């Protein structure tokens, strides 16, 4: 398990204050961690260098707004995963995913092969690294974090915080990814077996040779039920035992050389605003959101339009807090509270209660002309015409139950249930006619 150095918190505080040496120390000490997480999550795509640089740039500009220095590593890893997620949404990344699925990806950028070569892996450790190729993007992100945890670079709490969930749910996601990784290891072992299984070769006849999540499922079904393939799987060691204590892939010299010049001079100090919510909402994030909205990019523009369409998001909105909430009886004011905390449409017809809501029961159930009418002109549900007839049996006819006005406080009242006092109705009874 990762043990945080005693000087890390002091370094984070100094970096947040603008100390250049502290910033360089943070970047240099955490760059291998970020590179391994991003590289494995993106499967060594050529854009790994750009994503790593963008991640470290956001760390440098946002470290001054970090409220809890103890959470620096989880905050750092969360930023890295967010950058990977943004990269996946880009059009170029979608094309790269198609190339990977069709076997057209650049073999030189394969992070699994890079791991095997630079760490000198062999045997089952090599198979475990190669099995990562058979996972989809989401599983690779979880694997990149779990790999760092098993290697002693991350704690489980930091892994859960990076995934944006609690430790129990994070454990479930890790367990699922481990299961898929073990399945992929059986496929790698069966494909590499000599002599090869003839039935497995028949199943893989249309396979283009590129590992993928889809072909992992197809091939694993055969491997699971085939006695010939099963003979090669008896000595598999659990993946956590293989990865325990495994070192990190060294950062390429090209990234380490250009990174200092690509990073900003120091943390952003012009804006003193600190978002009271999530730790990831720094001024750099707000600047990025503003740029996306101004450019009309989606989904930022659509989300902004939805936010501003709500009148409560305007600076002119004035809430009306209640010191005492009176529920029913003289001086009842709880409806005002409900209007404040719920969308206005939920109380558009009940706000006038108890002054006399005279909507009919037929309108409430869908009388002609009301919300129950169908587009084809036929009457909707509750129009006063019964399908069962006068006697309540099938056969048609007009029911004796017809729509008639009901007084406020009766079943036609649209006030919420809490509006009706337990001792008396919220409006006068209707006089018998």
pLDDT 10s digits, 287-303:
778 878 888 888 888 88
Answer with the residue of higher pLDDT: 385 or 277.
277
The radius of gyration computed from the CA coordinates of the chain, to the nearest angstrom, equals 32
- Give the pLDDT confidence score for residue 325 in this predicted structure: 82
Q: 262 vs 65, which has greater pLDDT?
A: 65
Higher per-residue pLDDT: 271 or 145: 145
- Residues sharing a CB contact under 8 Å with residue 280, sequence separation 6 or more, in sequence order: 75, 78, 79, 82
Buried residues in 260-294 as b, exposed as e (16+ CB within 10 A): eeebeebbbeeeeeeeeeebbbbbbbeeeeeebee
pLDDT at 319 over 80: no
The whole-number pLDDT of residue 219 equals: 92
Q: How confident is the model at residue 91 (pLDDT cuts 50, 70, 90)?
A: low
For residue 295, what pLDDT is reported? Answer: 80
For residue 42, give the nearest of 106, 122, 125, 102 by alpha carbon: 106
CA–CA separation, 92 and 98 (whole Å)? 10
Contact 427, 356 (CB under 8 A): yes
**Phi, psi (rounded to 5 degrees) for 396:** 90, -175
Banded pLDDT at 416 (limits 50, 70, 90): low
For residue 201, give the 3-state DSSP assignment.
helix
Q: Do 53 and 95 touch, CB atoms closer than 8 A?
A: no
Name the phi and psi angles at 297, rounded to 5.
-75, 150
- Residue 268's pLDDT is 53
Under the banding of pLDDT at 50, 70 and 90, the label for residue 98 is very low
What confidence tens digit (pLDDT) does each residue in 8-34 have? Answer: 888 888 888 888 888 888 888 899 999
pLDDT of residue 233: 83
Q: What is residue 362's predicted lDDT score, i.e. its pLDDT?
A: 41
- Taking the CB of residue 241, how many other CB atoms lie within 10 A of it? 12
Q: In this structure, what token pair is assigned to residue 365?
A: 């159930």
As to burial, measured by CB atoms within 10 angstroms (0-12 exposed, 13-18 middle, 19+ buried), residue 393 is exposed
Position 387 pLDDT exceeds 50: no
- pLDDT reported for residue 175: 94
What confidence score (pLDDT) does residue 322 get? 76
Closest to 46 measured CA to CA, from 126, 121, 107? 107
By three-state DSSP, how is residue 65 classified? helix
Give the pLDDT score at 222.
92
Check: CB of residue 338 under 8 Å from CB of residue 347.
yes
Mean pLDDT lowest among 142-156, 190-204, 244-258: 244-258
What is the pLDDT averaged over residues 157-173? 90
Q: How far from chain centre, in Å, is Cα 108?
A: 31
Residue 398 has pLDDT above 80, yes or no: no
**pLDDT higher than 90, residue 172:** yes
Q: Which of 51, 43, 225, 223 is nearest to 135 (CA)?
A: 43
What's the pLDDT score for residue 254? 76
Cα separation of 63 and 210, whole Å? 41
**Residues found in the chain:** 433
Confidence of residue 433 (pLDDT cuts 50, 70, 90): very low
Q: Is the per-residue pLDDT at 140 higher than 60?
A: yes
Model pLDDT, residue 385: 44
* Percent of the chain topping pLDDT 90: 14
End-to-end CA distance of the chain: 81
Arithmetic mean of pLDDT, 185-198: 89
| Residues contacting 95, CB < 8 A, separation 6+ | none
pLDDT band at 188 (very low <50, low <70, confident <90, very high): very high
């Amino acid at each position: 398990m990762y043990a945080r150095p005693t000087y890390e918190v002091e370094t984070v505080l100094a970096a947040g204050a603008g100390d250049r040496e502290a910033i360089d120390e943070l970047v240099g000490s955490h760059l291998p961690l970020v590179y391994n997480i991003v590289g494995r999550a993106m499967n060594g795509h050529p854009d790994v260098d750009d994503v790593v640089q963008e991640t470290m740039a956001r760390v440098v500009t946002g470290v001054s707004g970090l409220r809890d220095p103890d959470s620096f590593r989880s905050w750092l890893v969360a930023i890295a995963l967010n950058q990977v997620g943004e990269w996946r949404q880009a059009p170029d990344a979608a094309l790269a995913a198609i190339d990977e699925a069709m076997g057209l990806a650049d073999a030189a950028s394969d992070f699994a092969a890079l791991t095997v070569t630079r760490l000198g892996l062999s045997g089952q450790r090599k198979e475990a690294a190669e099995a990562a190729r058979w996972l989809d993007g989401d599983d690779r992100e979880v694997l990149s974090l779990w790999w760092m945890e098993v290697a002693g670079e991350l704690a489980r709490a930091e892994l859960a915080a990076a995934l944006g969930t609690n430790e129990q749910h994070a454990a479930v996601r890790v367990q699922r990814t481990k299961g898929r990784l073990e399945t992929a290891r059986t496929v790698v072992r069966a494909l590499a077996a000599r002599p090869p299984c003839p039935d497995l070769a028949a199943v893989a006849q249309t396979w283009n040779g590129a590992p993928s999540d889809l072909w992992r499922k197809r091939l694993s079904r055969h491997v699971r039920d085939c006695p010939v393939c099963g003979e090669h799987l008896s000595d598999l060691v659990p993946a956590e035992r293989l990865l325990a204590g495994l070192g990190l892939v060294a950062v390429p010299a090209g990234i380490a050389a250009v990174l200092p010049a690509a990073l900003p001079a120091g943390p952003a100090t012009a804006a003193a605003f600190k978002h009271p919510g999530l730790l990831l909402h720094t001024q750099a994030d707000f600047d990025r959101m503003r740029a996306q909205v101004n450019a009309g990019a989606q989904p930022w523009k659509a989300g902004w339009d939805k936010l501003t369409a709500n009148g409560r998001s305007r600076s002119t909105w004035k809430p009306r807090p209640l010191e005492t909430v009176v529920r029913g009886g003289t001086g009842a004011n709880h409806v005002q509270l409900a209007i404040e905390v719920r969308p206005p449409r939920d109380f558009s017809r009940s706000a006038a209660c108890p002054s006399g809501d005279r909507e009919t029961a037929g309108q409430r159930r869908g009388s002609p002309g009301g919300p129950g009418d169908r587009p084809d002109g036929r009457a909707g549900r509750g129009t006063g015409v019964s399908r069962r007839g006068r006697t309540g049996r099938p056969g048609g006819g007009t029911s004796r139950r017809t729509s008639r006005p009901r007084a406020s406080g009766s079943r036609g009242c649209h006030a919420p249930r809490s509006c009706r006092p337990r001792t008396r109705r919220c409006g006068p009874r209707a006089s018998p006619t």
